Amino acid sequence: MMLTLSKYQDVTKDDTFMPVLMKAFKGVPFFRQSSGKLIHVLNPDLTVKAAYRIIYYEGEVAFALSRLYELTHDQAVMDLVKQILDYMVANDYGKYHDHWISYAINEALLVFPDNREYMKLGLKNVFIHLKFIEERDTTYPTLLELVDAAVKMTDMIKRSGNEDLMAPYDLVRLRQVLRYRALYEITTGSFLPEIAMYLYNPQKFIGGFYARHDSFRTRIDDCEHFLSGLINYYNYTYRQA
């Protein structure tokens, strides 16, 4: 919700939902434990429903808060972003190769442009997983999202004067993988007319996306990830000034 409304305000300049955004922000501390770790699901009375669901939650929260900070420049929002990211650094979240972490790092570097620990986290997050990304033989749209964000991040690190952090990594290979995954998602995960024609209502499916390895499953979140990865790829590859 925070990501959606932040993007809406950024695009439209309509701040109607800012009170809702700030209310959501004020709820985040209730999810933090004394260690800094986030509780993933609370009951309405703020008791713990599920301490952990999936590793993505921390990255999503940091990403959303960073987007909110870009709108508000509120010091309290910045402080919370830093607390969550510092916890992720201290607990080696780079091992999780999570696309949300890469998104969060990119936004955070706009706020903390010289934080080398965040850069290290973001680099590890993609490069330890690069071989898997290259060899994955089914559609996996979050992999394209991860590489999209990683390429953008390496450019940000280079502009910041911290190129030495990238010395151990093959940046050419990273860009090759980016192009490969984009083409792979289109050719093996999108309902081209040649695929859609075998379905009961081809017009309903053309332009959509599916998971071939899961009985051609089509879900709204799958389509969101496909579109996000491909749009980011197109924008960053072909529409840079």
pLDDT of residue 148: 96
Number of Cβ within 10 Å of residue 110's Cβ equals: 12
119-130: burial string, b at 16+ Cβ within 10 Å, e else? bbbbbbbbbebb
Dist CA 183 CA 185 (whole Å)? 6
User: Is the pLDDT assigned to residue 103 strictly greater than 80?
Assistant: yes
Domain span at residue 151 reads: 2-238
What end-to-end distance do the CA atoms of the chain give, in Å?
31
Burial zone of 91 (CB within 10 Å; 0-12 exposed, 13-18 middle, 19+ buried): middle
Average pLDDT, rounded, for the chain: 92
Amino acid at the residue 155: D
User: Is the pLDDT assigned to residue 241 strictly greater than 60?
Assistant: no
pLDDT of residue 74: 95
pLDDT of residue 240: 65
Estimate to the nearest angstrom the gap between the alpha carbon of 225 and the chain centroid: 10
Q: Which has the closest alpha carbon to 213: 134, 133, 140, 130?
A: 140
Dist CA 27 CA 204 (whole Å)? 40
pLDDT band for 87, please (50, 70, 90 cuts).
Answer: very high
pLDDT of residue 24: 94
The DSSP secondary structure of the chain, one letter per residue, reads: -HHHHHHHHHHH---TTHHHHHHHHHHGGGGB-TTSPBPSEE-TTS-EEES-S-THHHHHHHHHHHHHHHHH--HHHHHHHHHHHHHHHHTTGGGG--HHHHHHHHHHHHHSTT-HHHHHHHHHHHHTTHHHHHH--S--HHHHHHHHHHHHHHHHHHHTT-GGGGTTS-HHHHHHHHHHHHHHHHHHHB--HHHHTTSSSHHHHTT-B-BGGGTTB--HHHHHHHHHHHHHHHHHHHS--
* Bridge partner list, 217: 211
pLDDT band for 126, please (50, 70, 90 cuts).
Answer: very high
Q: What's the pTM value of the predicted model, to 2 decimals?
A: 0.90
Q: Which has the closest alpha carbon to 79: 67, 69, 94?
A: 69
Arithmetic mean of pLDDT, 130-151: 92
Extract the tokens encoding 134: 């290259």
CB 183 within 8 A of CB 139: no
User: Is the pLDDT assigned to residue 217 strictly greater than 90?
Assistant: no
Arithmetic mean of pLDDT, 196-203: 90
Tell me how many domains the chain contains: 1
- Helix 116-127 vs helix 99-111: crossing angle, to nearest 10: 160
User: Is the pLDDT assigned to residue 1 strictly greater than 90?
Assistant: no
Arithmetic mean of pLDDT, 6-12: 94
Arithmetic mean of pLDDT, 132-160: 93
User: Is the pLDDT assigned to residue 116 strictly greater than 70?
Assistant: yes
pLDDT of residue 154: 96
User: Is the pLDDT assigned to residue 18 strictly greater than 60?
Assistant: yes
pLDDT of residue 34: 84
Highest-scoring range by mean pLDDT, 47-51, 135-139, 228-232: 228-232
